[in-house]
């Protein structure tokens, strides 16, 4: 399930989503217009945040290996076509949850494009933090 499909649930908890990308502003704006993505983007052209959080470049196997093709196939079966890349396909991403005090509560560095925590696990981590405060 996509993050956007959980927007109503996300709106009920203390959560601010910011997507960090190294894409150029024109592509970010086009993506937001095309998808209706409701959250903010931060453009990190120098990739300094990627470096700080250990999100480096992936190997050929990590990017083009069979596990990723399986994920792309599952997306296509659900009617979601992968997009052609515009920039550095080897740059790995991840997910970082930071609480209001600046403490990192979850830090996941992807091993490949298809390696992401589920939306359920991310929201559970946020809710656990909210419940403990």
Exposed e or buried b for every residue in 4-37, given b needs 16+ CB within 10 A?
A: eeeeeebeeeebeeebbbbbeeeebeebeeeeeb
Handedness of CA 17, 123, 85, 55 (dihedral sign): positive
Q: What's the pLDDT tens digit per position in 81-103? A: 666 777 888 899 999 988 878 88
pTM assigned to the model: 0.74
Question: What's the pLDDT tens digit per position in 52-81?
Answer: 999 999 888 878 877 777 777 777 787 776
> Residue 111: CB partners within 8 Å, gap ≥ 6?
58, 62, 92
Domains defined for the chain, CATH in brackets = 3-132 (3.40.30)
């Amino acid at each position: 399930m996509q993050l956007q499909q959980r927007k109503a649930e996300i709106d009920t908890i203390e959560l601010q989503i910011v997507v960090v990308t190294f894409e150029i502003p024109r592509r970010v704006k086009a993506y937001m217009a095309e998808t209706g993505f409701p959250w903010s983007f931060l453009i990190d052209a120098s990739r300094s945040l990627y470096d700080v959080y250990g999100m480096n470049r992936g190997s050929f196997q990590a990017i083009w290996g069979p596990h990723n093709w399986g994920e792309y196939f599952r997306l296509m079966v659900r009617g979601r076509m992968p997009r052609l890349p515009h920039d550095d396909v080897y740059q790995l991403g991840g997910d970082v949850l930071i609480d209001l005090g600046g403490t990192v509560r979850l830090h996941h560095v992807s091993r490949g494009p298809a390696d992401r925590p589920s939306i359920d696990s991310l929201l559970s981590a946020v809710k656990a933090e909210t419940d403990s405060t």
